Amino acid sequence: MRACRVRALRRSNRDVLGAVPAAVIGVQTINSSMHPTAAAHARVAPVAAVTAPARTAPATVKVVMRDPGCHWFAVGAHFKTKLAVTGTAKLSNLDEATLKIKRAGSVKRVNVGRTTALGRGAYTITMVGQKSDDNTLHLTVH
């Protein structure tokens, strides 16, 4: 059995880690000559890969036609006038007319059968030419 000794080699890995110095461990057997650079390349411990957090799919928000009140958010088998979702939202207009989506400082229109992406914020949704007895929907995207 051959005796082994461990030596630590310190070098700057500017090409891999920017300006951060890294310590590389090399294993050298007795009576063998190993160049420090060869030791660094041959015996580098595997590094755990860093992955970005998984992105979740945008929440699908459906606006549908239903009496009384004309338009509603369809959430499963329930209908709501106020809704809060986390992440981004994909709003689908399944109503009978174009929707007006108001956010602080902007107004967006979505035609029937179309979808639009909504980022974080508070939205007020009405129908173009809406009657006074129709619902005003409130969507909050966290």
Domain boundaries, the chain: 4-42, 59-141
Higher pLDDT, 50 or 5: 50
pLDDT of residue 56: 79
Could you read off the pLDDT of 9-36 as tens digits, one per residue? 444 444 444 444 444 444 555 555 555 5
Right CATH for 59-141 from 1.20.1440.130, 1.20.140.10, 3.40.190.290, 2.60.40.420:
2.60.40.420
pLDDT of residue 44: 55
pLDDT of residue 32: 54
* CA-angle at 37, arms to 32 and 43, nearest 5°: 70
Cα–Cα distance for residue pair 135/50, rounded to 1 Å: 47
Q: Lowest-confidence range among 32-46, 48-62, 88-102?
A: 32-46
pLDDT of residue 4: 44
**Inter-CA distances, 33 with 3, 22, 39, 41, 99, Å:** 14, 23, 10, 15, 76
Please choose, from the candidates 65, 54, 34, 67, the residue with its C-alpha nearest in 3D space to the C-alpha of residue 127. 65
Please choose, from the candidates 119, 110, 112, the residue with its C-alpha nearest in 3D space to the C-alpha of residue 96. 112
Instruction: Count CB atoms within 10 A of the CB of residue 93.
Output: 23
Could you read off the pLDDT of 82-114 as tens digits, one per residue? 999 998 999 999 999 999 999 999 999 999 999
